[in-house]
Amino acid sequence: MKNQSSTIFQGVNKKEFLIRNTFRLAILIVLFLGINTFKASCLNKPPHVIIGYVAGYDGLVDMNMIKPEKLTHLNYAFANIKNNRINLKNATTDIVNLRNLNKLKIKNPDLKILISVGGWTYSNNFSDMALTDTSRKAFARSAVAFVEKYKLDGLDIDWEYPGLPGAGNVHRPEDKQNFTLLLKALKEDLNKLGKRINKKLVLTIAADCSKDFLDHTEMNKAQAYLDYINLMAYDFLNDPPGKTFHQAPLYPSKTFNNNNSIVQSVQRYLKEGIRPEKMVLGIPFYGHIYQIKSDARSAVGAELKSAVGTKGFADIKDSLINSGQFQYHRDTTAKAAYLFNPHNQQFVTFEDEWSIRYKCKYLKDQGLAGVMFWEYSNDEKGILLQELNRMMK
């Protein structure tokens, strides 16, 4: 038998052989570590976001109600705009609320707290503020200084709506481009502050689902400056009007007069070139109550007489569902729940655990970033939030 070592080293000195194989071994180790690091990063992807809005305009917020461990982001609503600067209309209680919200990070250090500017009531001054480069920069400086002062994690802009009247607001055609320029100015100043304090700061918007909103904005361009686009996928208008409809149907209904749906809205955004990982699906934690005309025998296709009002999910569950006076129904086509009281002819369109499951599955299938809900106090017992957490795993 030949000496194996002499065969191996034939034509190559021993020192050179060891150097070559050590080098090869090092390459294999680097490749092994790299592949496993990549696998680990894939397995430990950040979860879907769960963004909740908490309303401060009614006074001090009950912090015991909030479960920070079940949230990724909490948007405090709302700040106003005055003289092209961010403004707290109820400063006495707002400041206390913001400080108390920051204390929630003791339970969840990863929780992001944002100040939301605007909303349905405070959107009147957006168009004037966004009109010029000077006024946009003045607002951006004031808003980012606000973020730093109250140790927040970013801004949420809820302009309802650029180029459209909303609640009778000032609006102009230039809003379309100015909205994009406003977001650009905000993002640039947030990035400067973030670099200075070594912290990633977030910029989001609340966005309407309608074609009108997309026609009056440049969302394809604006998304470059946004971390998330919170789609207000609720309060759909009945089309044609005058008959019962769902406030937030996932799919078009075969039985209710509503040609609007969440699926149609999301697809509209995707066709505009909006990246799915920036889109967050909004879910209502409340419902609408309507009075149906007295000759209606069921809620399906019934003519509406008047709007009675809105109720939070907790109230709907306790005072309506548990009363035994309302019949609970599911539109299995639209994936929407509703109630009907045949005695007083009331129809209630609302969100529940069943409908939420379908929405969560849909957004995950579409690769959306996660969910947003309005508004925290409407689910005091945390029933819907618990379902969101279960489905987002």
Write down the pLDDT at residue 39. 39
266 domain residue, yes or no: yes
Question: Within this chain, do residues 69 and 27 fall inside the same structural domain, yes or no?
Answer: no
Residues 56, 146 within the same domain: yes
Predicted confidence band of residue 124 (pLDDT cuts 50, 70, 90): very high
Residue with token string 């609340």: 206
pLDDT tier for residue 32 given thresholds of 50, 70 and 90? very low
Of the candidates 338, 190, 360, 172, the one whose C-alpha atom is nearest the C-alpha of residue 253 is 338
- Residue environment code for 173-185, b if the CB has 16+ CB neighbours within 10 A, otherwise e: eebeebbbbbbbb
Write down the pLDDT at residue 295.
85
Percentages (nearest 5) of helix, strand, coil residues in the chain: 40, 25, 35
Joined together, the tokens standing for residue 221 give: 């361009």
pLDDT at 297: 85
Q: How many structural domains compose the chain?
A: 2
Are both 84 and 125 inside the same structural domain?
yes
Report d(CA 213, CA 207) in Å as an integer. Answer: 8
Q: Residue 20 burial by CB count (10 A; 0-12/13-18/19+): exposed, middle or buried?
A: exposed
Q: Is the pLDDT of residue 276 over 90?
A: yes
Arithmetic mean of pLDDT over the chain = 91
Q: Is residue 326 part of a domain?
A: no
Q: Six-digit token pair at 333? A: 């086509």
What average pLDDT score do residues 102-112 get? 98
Q: Which of 164, 157, 158 is closest to 216 using CA atoms?
A: 164
Q: Determine, yes or no, domain membership for 26.
A: yes
- Out of 16, 69, 148, 160, which one is annotated catalytic? 160
In a domain, 56, yes or no: yes
Q: What is the mean pLDDT of residues 275-301?
A: 95
pLDDT at 387: 98
Whether the CB-CB separation of 362 and 262 falls below 8 Å is answered with: yes
Residues 13 and 142 occupy one common structural domain: no
Q: Are 285 and 376 in contact (CB under 8 A)?
A: yes
109/150 same-domain check? yes
* Number of Cβ within a 10 Å radius of residue 38: 10
Min mean pLDDT across 20-29, 38-47, 277-286, 305-314 is at 38-47
Same domain, 19 and 102: no
Q: How far from 6 is each of 16, 46, 232, 366, CA to CA, in Å?
A: 14, 55, 77, 63
Q: Is residue 190 part of a domain?
A: yes
Separation between Cα atoms, residue 336 and residue 356, nearest integer Å: 9
What distance in Å separates the CA atoms of residue 254 and residue 82, rounded to the nearest whole number?
46
* Terminal-to-terminal C-alpha distance of the chain: 63
Specify the DSSP element, H or E, that contains 30.
Answer: helix 14-43
CATH of the domain at 282: 3.20.20.80
pLDDT greater at residue 7 or residue 27: 27
Block residue for tokens 């809105």:
310
Same domain flag for 11 and 128? no
The answer to the question of residue 298 being in a domain is: no
Question: Beta partners for 282?
Answer: 372
Q: What is the pLDDT of residue 13?
A: 57
In the residue annotation, 160 being an active-site residue is answered as yes
Report the 10 Å Cβ neighbour count for 68.
Answer: 20
Regarding whether 29 and 110 lie in a shared domain, the answer is no
User: Tokens 């021993």 label which residue?
Assistant: 14
Residues 24 and 102 in one domain: no
Sign, Cα dihedral of 199, 77, 246, 265: negative
Q: 86 near 142, Cβ under 8 Å? A: yes
| pLDDT score of 20 | 59
Same domain, yes or no, for 118 and 253? yes
Residue-wise pLDDT for 165-211, tens only, equals 999 999 999 999 999 999 999 999 999 999 999 999 999 999 999 99
Residue 16 pLDDT: 57
Fill in the DSSP letter of residue 319: I
Range with the poorest average pLDDT among 70-84, 229-243, 365-379: 229-243
User: 228 is in which domain, residue-wise?
Assistant: 48-286+354-391
Q: Is residue 332 part of a domain?
A: no
Whether 17 and 161 map to the same domain: the answer is no
Q: Are residues 13 and 161 in the same domain?
A: no
Q: pTM surpassing 0.85? A: yes
In a domain, 299, yes or no: no
Dihedral, 114, 116, 117, 121 alpha carbons, nearest 10: -160
What per-residue confidence (pLDDT) applies to 3? 39
Q: Are 98 and 150 in contact (CB under 8 A)?
A: yes
DSSP structure string for 174-223:
THHHHHHHHHHHHHHHHHHHHHHHT---EEEEEEE-SHHHHHTS-HHHHG
pLDDT score for 2: 39
Contact 324, 300 (CB under 8 A): no
